[in-house]
Structure 1
Amino acid sequence: MEIAENINALFGRTTEQISNAPRSLDILPIGAQARVTGVTGSGAIARRLLEMGVVPGAPVRVIKAAPLGDPIEVRVRGYHLALRRTEAKTISVTSD
Structure 2
Amino acid sequence: MSDTLKLSEARKGARGVIVRVGCHHREDEHTAELERRLLELGFVEGARVELLHEGLFGRNPIALKVDDMRVALRRHEAASITVRVEVAA
> TM-score, structure 1 length as denominator?
0.75
Alignment RMSD, CA only? Answer: 1.1
* 1:21 CA displacement: 2.9
- After TM superposition, the structure 1 = structure 2 runs for residues 71-86 of structure 1, keeping only pairs within 5 Å, are 71-86=61-76
**2:36 matched to 1:47?**
yes
**Structure 2: which 5+ runs fail to align?**
24-30
Percent identical among aligned pairs is 32
SS in 1 for 2:84: strand
Q: Which has the higher contact order (CA 8 A, sep 6+)?
A: 2
2:26 maps to what in 1? Answer: none
Aligned length: 78
Residue type of the alignment partner of 1:50: L
1:87 maps to what in 2? Answer: 77
Name whichever structure is richer in strand by fraction: 2
**2:24 matched to 1:35?**
no
**2:43 matched to 1:61?**
no
SS in 2 for 1:43: helix
| 4+ aligned runs moved over 4 Å, structure 1 | none
Name whichever structure is richer in helix by fraction: 1
